[in-house]
Amino acid sequence: MYIWERKDWPNWKGEQKDFSEILLRLHRKQAHLLGSMQALGFSLRDEARLEMLTQEVLRTSEIEGEIFDLKTVRSSAARHLGIKIGALAPADRFVDGVVEMALDAVTHFDQPLTKQRLFNWHRLLFPTDRSNSMKIVVGTWRDDAQGPMQVVSGALGRERVHYEAPPAERVEKEMKQFLKWINEATAIDPFLMAARAHFWFVTIHPFEDGNGRIGRAISDMILARSDQSSHRYYSLSAQIQRERRNYYQQLEFAQHGSMNDTAWLNWFLGCLERAIESAREKLSHILEKSHFWHRWAKTPLNERQTLMLNKLLDGFEGKLTTSKWAKISRCSHDTSLRDIQELINYGILMKESAGGRSTSYRLEK
């Protein structure tokens, strides 16, 4: 039996009082994060917003197995936020669609969630009316023309059905009830509401495809309501991607369970807490970069040196050598050596202990 087949569906039994401790922690951590961000200058806040939106779009798509190019996503996010980042990658309408949906969810958090708004989000996700090269019904509820809506894994002939959604003829009624609740519920804590809304929506599974991404956008909209801000400084989707296996296990367990959704709420709130903690770590990184550039603001650096120092600050993979410098900054080996030597003389870089052909460099502490 699936949860939607129960006679008491959707009369949720999880009690808010059972989560008082973690809810208090979440509100405190969220307030601390927002307060820390407000203390930053405009440019650093913009950088944090750009980073979080980029991660949100990348990771919510990766959860569903869709991989976007980082530069394309960052460029699209910058364009939509009105943030200048230099050269932009060419526009991609699939990426732009996810960015626009994510921004609409949090920018207009105070607007009702309606059927038409969800249809618009769905059209943004599938601008060609296709998913994985297959024609799908876009901008309206699914019709189950190809059979029941199922979540399936495994090779052809050995498929495993993890979940089967309510039949298409029930979707209109189910979504009407869901939207009434999400627009009128006031007694529930917004963190709990975001958790329950996500689960409820993906359990109805109203679209042919894109339900997970839209479900996470709904959660983000509710979280934006909770702090009354369209500026997102943490990414729930990025954390869910890191815990992807557990995410699907928790969904499947709850969709076969009872109307007591305590286990799902516990997992979701924990995931959200870890997302906020991760954002605080990223904030520390942004502050470190700010202090670094403030310290060396009056030092004459060329574009290659600025580029490579930013890469080092962002976590350069492997060892930095003159050949890597030359390749990335598109200059000769001699030029890269001069660039590096200048930075050593300034006290910005230092040579690693190993010498010879394996000579590498790192930031001076």
DSSP string, 2-38: -GGGSTTTT-----GGGGHHHHHHHHHHHHHHHHHHH
Tell me, yes or no, if the pTM score tops 0.75. yes
What does the CA dihedral 69, 72, 75, 80 come to, rounded to 10 degrees? Answer: -100
Six token digits for residue 313:
């600050």
Q: pLDDT confidence of 10, banded at 50, 70, 90?
A: very high
Residue 315, pLDDT score: 81
Residue 98, pLDDT score: 97
- Could you tell me which residues are beta bridge partners of residue 150? 164
Residue 357, pLDDT score: 63
State the average pLDDT over residues 128-139. Answer: 90
Locus of tokens 């600025």: 306
Task: Give residue-wise pLDDT tens across range 146-200.
Answer: 899 999 888 778 888 999 999 999 999 999 999 999 999 888 999 999 999 999 9
Task: Give residue-wise pLDDT tens across range 29-62.
Answer: 999 888 888 777 777 788 888 989 999 999 999 9
Task: Give residue-wise pLDDT tens across range 296-310.
Answer: 999 999 999 999 998
Six token digits for residue 76:
């699209």
E strands in the chain: 130-131, 134-135, 150-153, 160-164, 349-351, 361-363
What span, in angstroms and rounded, lies between the C-alpha atoms of 257 and 5? 11
Residue 80, pLDDT score: 95
Let me know how many helices (H) and strands (E) the chain has, helices first: 14, 6
Going from the N-terminus, what domains does the chain have, and what CATH number goes with each?
3-289 (1.10.3290.10), 298-363 (1.10.10.10)
> What CA–CA distances, in Å, run from 32 to 233, 280, 322?
11, 9, 42
The answer to whether residues 112 and 183 touch, using CB atoms and an 8 Å cutoff, is yes
> What CA–CA distances, in Å, run from 24 to 29, 192, 229, 278?
9, 12, 19, 18
Q: Say which range, 66-80, 221-235, 246-260, 294-308, has the weakest mean pLDDT.
A: 221-235
